[in-house]
Amino acid sequence: MGKATNPRRVADNEARSKVRMLRISPQKLNLVASMIRGKPVEKALNELAFSRKRAAVDVKKALESAIANAENNHGLDIDSLVVSEAYVGKNLVMKRFRARARGRGARILKPFAELTIVVREVEEAA
């Protein structure tokens, strides 16, 4: 008598990937995530591969993970996948300080972000 499995957090035709503790500002990460929202995964991967933003490497890795989850864990066809959701959340903020003149200090905030990508299988209209 085993433990009951967790219910799926996404629909049957979807797969999800989540990356936590990305050492980049959520605002900068959201600029890259907004580039791929609503696009087919092949086109999204191409855009991320040729993007000049530093966050594009992490977003591409998360998208590839979501595609692998869709194929291996849920048996979805990778040729008909579309990025249905790509959203960014805040995570912790490391607080540091920099010594300034007259014994003062200036705060340095080093934010972390988390990224969630959901891919959905769509039926092509023939």
Per-residue pLDDT tens digits of the chain, which is 126 residues long? 688 888 888 999 999 999 999 999 999 999 999 999 999 999 999 999 999 999 999 999 999 999 999 999 999 999 999 999 999 999 999 999 999 999 999 999 999 999 999 999 998 755
Q: How far apart are CA 35 and CA 119, in angstroms?
A: 15
Backbone angles phi, psi at 61, to 5 degrees: -65, -40
pTM of whole model > 0.75?
yes
- CATH number for 14-121 (one of 1.10.730.10, 3.90.470.10, 3.40.50.300, 1.10.10.60): it is 3.90.470.10
Give the CA radius of gyration of the chain.
19
Written as one string, the DSSP assignment of 58-105 is HHHHHHHHHHHIIIIIT---GGGEEEEEEEEEEEEEEEEEEE-GGG-E
Residue 8: the pLDDT is: 85
Domain boundaries, the chain: 14-121
Identify the pLDDT of residue 75.
93
